[in-house]
Amino acid sequence: MEVIVAQGLRRRFGRVEAVRGIDLTVCRGECLGLLGHNGAGKSTTIRLLLGLIPPTAGRALLFGLPAGHPSVRGRVGYSPESPHFYPFLTARETLDFYRKLSGLRPGQTDLDGILALVGLSDAARQQVGGFSKGMVQRLAVATALVGDPGVLFLDEPSSGLDPAGRVAMRALIRRLKESGKTIFLNTHIVSDVAQVADRVAFMKAGKVVALEPPVGDLEARFLELMGGGTADGPGA
């Protein structure tokens, strides 16, 4: 079943067209990795798919409904690229805050279980203001899991993490995938995608230039498609 659908998706900011016509689908339980250099339009694509910004042209559907539709939002989790939380709340209070915003009653979602899943059980009572970058990234994934959504949009979840943190994050994403979540993984780190994604969409200058399973030497394929990092057009 197709959970995420993008059809001719375009988005222009003034004179700059950040997304230049994207067509893709993601099926239930699938993990799609969106690979591309910084500025390729990956985050804009996620924001379009979440309905946070309207497309200039084309359409984005989640569960067959327009992206951002109120009845869809409860089934989607989102971990932004540079997450920021209210510093005066503890990790658990943060999750509880998003539980309330999701309209869930206490006990309807296992907050302690989520904290354990992302490895923040020990920091549950600590104020977020004192968290390291890695802890904040993991908390962002945790907030995305509140309400047990079927689809997760993870925007650069390993960004700024040390090697150990990246390993832990990859393990977490793998666990989430194994639990049946549909994952839209947005990253510029090739090794992340190679280890967790079922398919990879290579994005360059606002366009998906290739959509294929991550087989063989993904890094070489990335360099081949990206043309050494220029953003002028397809490199292949």
Partner 1 sequence: MALVLNVVREGLRNRSLYVLTGVGLLLMFLLLVTSGGTVRDAAGNDLLADAAGAMRVGFALAGFLGALVAVVLSMNTIPRDCDRGTMELLLVRPLARWRIGAGFFAGNILSAWLFLLALVVPLFPALTLRGGAAQVPDLLLTLPGIFLNVALVSAVTTLVSVWLPGPAAGLVGLLAYGLGAFGPELAALVALTDAWWTPVARAGLWLVPPTGEVAASVLQRFAHGGVGDPRPVLAGLLYLWATAGLTAASFGWREVSRRAALLFLGAGLVLTAALLAAPDPADWTDEDTALLQAALRLGEQVADLFPGWAPQETPVLLTKGRVNYLVNFPSELEAPPGRPVGAGTLRVVRLDRPEVPVVANGVVKVSGRAVALVAGRAQLEGAVGRLEAGLTLADGGEAELLKGMLRAGAGQSLTDEAYVGAVVHELFHVHQIPALEQWTADWDGAYAQERLWGEVYQDAENNRLQNLEAAYLLEALQAPDDGAARDAAARFLAVRAERAGYWQTRLGPVVADPLLELERLYEWLEGLARYVQAHVEPGGVEALMDELTEPVEAGIARDRVYRLGAAQALVLDRLIPGWRVEAMKGVSLEDLLREAVG
Please state whether beta strands 76-79 and 199-204 pair in parallel, antiparallel, or not at all (unpaired). unpaired
Strands (E), 45-118: 57-62, 65-66, 76-79
Residue number, 100 or 175, with CB nearest to partner 1: 100
Do 83 and 144 touch, CB atoms closer than 8 A?
no
Kindly tell me which of 33 and 149 has the beta carbon lying closer to partner 1. Answer: 149
Phi, psi of 15 (to 5 degrees): -90, -10
Half-sphere exposure of 211 (CA within 13 A, CB side): 9
The distance of closest approach from Cβ of residue 160 to partner 1 in the complex, given in angstroms and rounded to an integer, is 14
Q: Which is nearer to partner 1, 47 or 177 (CB)?
A: 47
Sheet strands side by side (includes 57-62): 16-27, 2-13, 57-62, 65-66
Tell me how far, at minimum, the Cβ of 163 lies from partner 1, in Å.
25
Instruction: Give the 3-state secondary structure percentages of the chain, helix then strand then coil, rounded to 5.
Output: 35, 30, 35
Query: CB of 101: closest distance to partner 1 in angstroms?
Result: 4
List residues binding partner 1 (CB under 8 A).
Answer: 47, 50, 52, 70-71, 73-74, 76, 78, 80-86, 88-89, 97-98, 100-103, 143, 147
Our CB check for partner 1 shows the closer of 69 and 175 to be: 69
Q: To the nearest whole angstrom, how small is the minimum distance from the Cβ of residue 132 to partner 1?
A: 17
Kindly tell me which of 78 and 131 has the beta carbon lying closer to partner 1: 78
Closest distance of CB 218 from partner 1, Å = 29
> Judged by CB, which is closer to partner 1: 68, or 235?
68
Smallest distance from the beta carbon of 197 to partner 1, in angstroms? 22
Nearest of 225, 207, 200 to residue 58 by alpha carbon: 207
CA dist 27 and 40 (Å) reads: 23
